[in-house]
């Protein structure tokens, strides 16, 4: 199984400041036949199911604010919230969907 | 509106069985791979099982041989038969849609149904 490791486990950021979450996969998650990586980011607020934010490393899901961005290649990936808003308080998970079982990172809690 | 609604959770006995259901609406269910993902209280996300449009299935090692995923396209429904339950199966179970293309992320999640296994 591909192991996904996020850092840090938790993060406190002031309103309007940048938040950066890292995710490392134990092996490549490059989807064959193209240069994309099968790496997604989800946001989970308390009492709610996860919500897809970003897929293919850097493509924002429809309706996701552009303050959320994803980057990375190989085995190292990053989710950046450029200007943290109060509604961004949540746990964020990375996921590889290159191979079964699709595996998630342990989560990063973002607080104000 | 695209929606997934789970049901069937509740209290189960260790060694017993439960059957979860997921009703899909707002999209052409038969065209999508579907999954179950679970989350124990205060813990992270764990993929449990998936089923393709052709009925092919996959399972996490932790549930293989005990859980069975199935779908009924005519009823726009996904199921998870859970047998030989253990305390480790206690979690919120989410019904999840995989996106439409080859290699897609999980784009639609239900609200979840809670399974509690007592010993």
Residue recorded with tokens 């293989």? B64
B99 contact residues in A (CB cutoff 8 A): 55
Number of Cβ atoms within 10 Å of the Cβ of B118: 11
Return the beta strands (E) in B1-119 as ranges: 3-7, 10-13, 18-25, 34-39, 46-51, 57-59, 67-72, 77-82, 91-98, 106-109, 113-118
Structure tokens at A55: 């897929």
Structure tokens at B101: 């293309």
Q: What is the pLDDT of residue A106?
A: 98
Closest chain B residue to the Cα of A50, Cα to Cα: B109
- DSSP β-ladder status, B10-13 and B113-118: parallel
Q: What is the pLDDT of residue B102?
A: 83
Q: What is the pLDDT of residue B119?
A: 85
Of A48, A95, A97, the CB nearest to B103: A97
Contacts (Cβ under 8 Å, ≥6 apart) of A37: A28, A29, A30, A31, A56, A57, A72, A73, A77, A98
Of B60, B98, B99, the CB nearest to A101: B60
Of B60, B94, B107, the CB nearest to A52: B107
- Residues A14-71 have pLDDT tens digits of 999 999 999 999 999 998 656 789 999 999 999 999 999 999 999 999 999 999 999 9
- Residues B104-118 have pLDDT tens digits of 999 999 999 999 999
Closest chain A residue to the Cα of B102, Cα to Cα: A31
- Residues A82-100 have pLDDT tens digits of 999 999 999 999 999 999 9
The answer to whether residue A4 neighbours chain B at the CB level (below 8 Å) is: no
Mean pLDDT of B57-77: 98
- Cβ distance of A55 and B99 shorter than 8 Å: yes
The answer to whether residue A104 neighbours chain B at the CB level (below 8 Å) is: yes
Q: What is the pLDDT of residue A50?
A: 98
- Cβ distance of A55 and B94 shorter than 8 Å: no
With H, G, I as helix, E, B as strand and everything else as coil, classify residue B90. Answer: coil
The answer to whether residue B73 neighbours chain A at the CB level (below 8 Å) is: no
Q: Of A64, A104, A105, which Cα lies nearest the Cα of A88?
A: A64
Phi-psi region of A57 (alpha: psi -120 to 50; beta: other; left: phi over 0): left
DSSP letter assigned to residue A110 = E
Shortest CA gap B47–chain A (Å) = 6
- Residues B75-84 have pLDDT tens digits of 999 999 999 9
The dihedral formed by the CA atoms of A6, B102, A1 and A49, expressed in degrees to the nearest 10: 50
Q: Is the dihedral of CA A63, A64, A65, A70 positive or negative?
A: negative
The answer to whether residue A49 neighbours chain B at the CB level (below 8 Å) is: yes
Q: What is the pLDDT of residue A35?
A: 73
H-run or E-run covering B99: none
């Amino acid at each position: 199984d591909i192991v996904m490791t996020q850092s840090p486990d938790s993060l406190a950021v002031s309103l309007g400041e940048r938040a950066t979450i890292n995710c490392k996969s134990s092996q490549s998650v490059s989807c064959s036949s193209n240069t994309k990586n099968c790496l997604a980011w989800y946001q989970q607020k308390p009492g709610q199911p996860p919500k897809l934010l970003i897929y293919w490393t850097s493509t924002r899901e429809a309706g996701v604010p552009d303050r959320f961005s994803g980057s990375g290649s190989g085995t190292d990936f990053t989710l950046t919230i450029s200007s943290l808003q109060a509604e961004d308080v949540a746990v964020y998970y990375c996921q590889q969907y290159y191979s079964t079982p699709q595996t998630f990172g342990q989560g990063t809690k973002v607080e104000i | 509106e695209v929606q997934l609604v789970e049901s069937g959770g509740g209290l189960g006995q260790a060694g017993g069985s439960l059957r979860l259901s997921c009703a899909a609406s707002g999209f052409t269910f038969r065209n999508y791979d579907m999954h179950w993902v679970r989350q124990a209280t205060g813990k992270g996300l764990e993929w449990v099982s998936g089923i393709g449009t052709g009925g092919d299935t996959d399972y996490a090692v932790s549930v293989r041989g005990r859980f069975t995923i199935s779908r009924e396209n005519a009823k726009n429904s996904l199921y998870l038969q859970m047998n030989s339950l253990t305390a480790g199966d206690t979690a919120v179970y989410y019904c999840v849609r995989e996106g439409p293309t080859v290699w897609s992320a999980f784009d639609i999640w239900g609200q979840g149904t809670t399974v509690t296994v007592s010993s």
